[in-house]
Structure formats: structure tokens, C-alpha cells
Amino acid sequence: MTYETMKEQQGKRSENVEPIVLEIPSSAEYILLGRLVVSCVGQLAGFGPEDVYDLKLAVTEAATNVVRHAEVGSFQIEYRVLPGAVQVTVTDAGGGFDLGEPAGKPGEHGGFGLTVIRGLVDEVVVDSTSDGTRLKMLRRATSEA
């Protein structure tokens, strides 16, 4: 039997790693599942504790936005481990929103979600139409586990 460290296994991965896809009910008590999975994905990517924490917070913000605003029964979170990075995509089939106007007034009932996410990850792409919203986040590792 052979033993390999996580770093050795990561070195053997191809760049076309299959994503992990989680479909969860649109309810606040299920957001924890999204946090748990992103924590594991961050560890698989070799992220240090600070990077994992930032990813968990970004996923929490994105999922909370869906639960509060999308009015859907469930939504998807897709996690992808990339070389030196993690990509997370949160997708819902709600009615979308105007990217120029926040869903609420900042400070009143939130309203800072996208601003917080942009401060936690390296890249954010939001695509919102009447068919739903897709938020793609990319976080590059800044520290090693």
C-alpha cells in the first residue's frame, strides 16, 4: 500500500477536474451545507485557513442573497478546484435583479452582499436575467495550508 500526501495528489490532478454540485433548498438553515462543502474544497485546493474563511464568508453572502431575494424553492452551488484557486458558482432560477440597483438599502436589511463578496474574492461575474441569476466567484490561494 502506498501513501500520498494531499500535495502529491494535487500535483497529479488534471486541470479538468469535475465540479462538485450541491443543490440545496432555499432556506437559511441549509446555508451551512454550502459553507461545509466550500471548506472541504478549499482544503482540497491547498488553501490556508484565512483563504478558506474568506471563501466560506463569500459563499454565505451569495447563498443568503438567494434565500432573501430569489423566491425559489432551491438553488445550486457549484465548486471547482483549479490550480491554485477555487471557483464557486451560485445559480438560481429566480426573477433576476437590476445590477445597477441593490436589492435593499445598505445598512437597513443588508444591502452589502455583493460589495462584501467583491472584497473577499479575486474575481466576480454576475449574470442576472428574468430567468435567474448566476454569480461566479474565483478566489486564488494567498497562503498554504
Q: How far is it, in rounded angstroms, from Cα 56 to Cα 124? A: 15
DSSP assignment of 44-112: HTTB-HHHHHHHHHHHHHHHHHHHHHT--SEEEEEEEEETTEEEEEEEE-S----TTS-SS-TTTS---
Please state the pTM of the whole predicted model: 0.82
136 pLDDT band, cuts 50/70/90, is very high
Q: What is the residue extent of each domain of the chain?
A: 20-140
Can you give the pLDDT at residue 14? 45
Rg (CA), the chain: 16
- Kindly state the cell numbers that stand for 86: 477555487
CA distances from 51 to 1, 31, 62 (A): 33, 19, 17
Of 102 and 137, the structure prediction assigns the larger pLDDT to 137
For cell 436589511, name the residue: 109
Kindly tell me if the per-residue pLDDT of 6 is higher than 80. Answer: no
Domain 20-140: which CATH class? alpha beta
Over residues 63-73, the pLDDT tens digits come to: 999 999 999 99
Can you give the pLDDT at residue 74? 98
Over residues 78-135, the pLDDT tens digits come to: 999 999 999 999 999 998 887 776 555 555 555 678 899 999 999 999 999 999 999 9
Average pLDDT of every residue of the chain: 86
